[in-house]
Every structure is written in C-alpha cells, then in structure tokens.
Amino acid sequence: MTTTCRIVVLISGSGSNLQAIIDAIDTKQIPAEIVAVISNKAEAYGLQRAASANIATQVLPYAGFTDRQEYDQALMACINQYQPDLIILAGFMRILSNELVHHYPGRMLNIHPSLLPKYKGLNTHQRVLEAGEKEHGATVHFVTPELDSGPIILQGKIPILKTDNEQQLTQHIHKLEHQIYPQAVMWFAQGRLHLSGNTVLLDQHPITPQQQIYTQSITGQLSNN
C-alpha cells in the first residue's frame, strides 16, 4: 500500500482490541490511520477510547430500522463516508448481511475468541471450559458472509491451566488478541496481506501454518516456532 491505510473500526463494547490497534499505530508499528470508529451502542466504552485518540466516532443504533437490510444500508453509507481501505470488526456484536460483506471483498477483518473452526458463535470461553479442552485461543480472519467462517489469517494459542475459570481465561485470551490483531492489521497496512478466492496470501504466497499459528507459553512468551 503506497498511501497510509485508512481504517474504519466497528465496535459494540469495551474496545480493548481497538485500543491495541490505536497503540500500535501511535508507536508506528502499523502504517495506518483510523479514520472512524462506529458503534451500534451509544454506551460502548470504545467510543471514549476513540475520542481520547482524536478519532471521529459515530453511533448507529439498530432501533428505528425495520430489518437487517435497512440497517446495513445505513451502516454501509456511514462506513463509505470515510473511504476506508480496511474495515475492522472489533467486538461488533451484529451479524452482517451478505450484501454488506460483499461490498468489501478482502477488506474486512474480524477477531474471534476461539481456535476456529472450533467454537464459532457466542460464549466461547465457557464452552471451551465445559468441554475440558487443553488449549484455547483467538483467530483473526477475513470476513465472509458465513459467521466466523472466513479464511484464517492468524491464530494465537494458549494452554488452559487447571486453575483457569471463565474470567481468567477471558483475560488471557484478550491479552493474546491484543498481540495478534495488530500483527494482522500491520500486514494488511503494509500491503503484504491479500485474499485471493479463499486463500490468504502473505507476501504473494499462501500463508503457511508457521506464519499463522502463535503459541503462548506459560510465561506469556508468544512464538511461532
């Protein structure tokens, strides 16, 4: 990408992933500018994070729209005002219509708190604990119309400790997310990451498992060996 990558971030809540990306842009790790943060919830704390970073914010609540199609038309119009190169879903708790997703092919990323394709959908930490899994993680992927099913860019894995409860696991996964999401956004902003059909390309070659999978040790060290 020759010019600075323009990013619109969609949120519904705390925005800690948004913050991780703001910080990585501020420290020049990501050659990008967040041109707007859009939330469907007026009370989302992420809006305050954006305002503190002097980023434009918009609130687009669902109330008042008759269906998903109509809402997504308004959302698209809102996004398009900012002419983004990349749209980032960071805890945006609405399912997007096919039409909206198709409008931004290869230009929309999501982060999901599980090792996809396992545990799509909600309450992943609780379900992982109930299933007695030995490891858990988070996945950054390109967005396609089917929920949590787009081509995988990066995954971070952590072991589940015997002592982990849902709250602790949530915190561990959040920390992991704050490392892998900025990494994927950095690749995109550098013009190194593309989607070709269903294949994720890094530096023009299909991404390899070694580039894709990061494992965090008990000491918090993240590595992809």
Residues 6+ apart with CB under 8 A from 90: 9, 10, 11, 15, 17, 18, 21, 46, 111, 181
CB 177, min distance to ligand GRF, A: 5
Nearer to ligand GRF, 106 or 113 (CB): 113
Which of 148, 25, 20, 36 is CA-nearest to residue 93? Answer: 148
CB 17, min distance to ligand GRF, A: 3
Nearer to ligand GRF, 84 or 113 (CB): 113
Q: Is 112 a catalytic residue?
A: yes
CA atoms within 13 A on the CB side of 128: 33
Nearer to ligand GRF, 97 or 110 (CB): 110
Residue ranges that bind ligand GRF, judged by CB under 6 A: 11, 13-18, 46, 90-91, 111-113, 138, 177
CB 44, min distance to ligand GRF, A: 8
Strand partners, 38: 10, 58
Residue nearest to ligand GRF (CB): 91
Measured between alpha carbons, how far is 109 from 172 in angstroms, rounded to an integer?
21
Q: How many H-runs (helices) and E-runs (strands) does the chain carry?
A: 7, 12
Q: Which residue in the list 102, 103, 112, 205 is annotated as catalytic?
A: 112
CB 181, min distance to ligand GRF, A: 8
Active site residues: 112
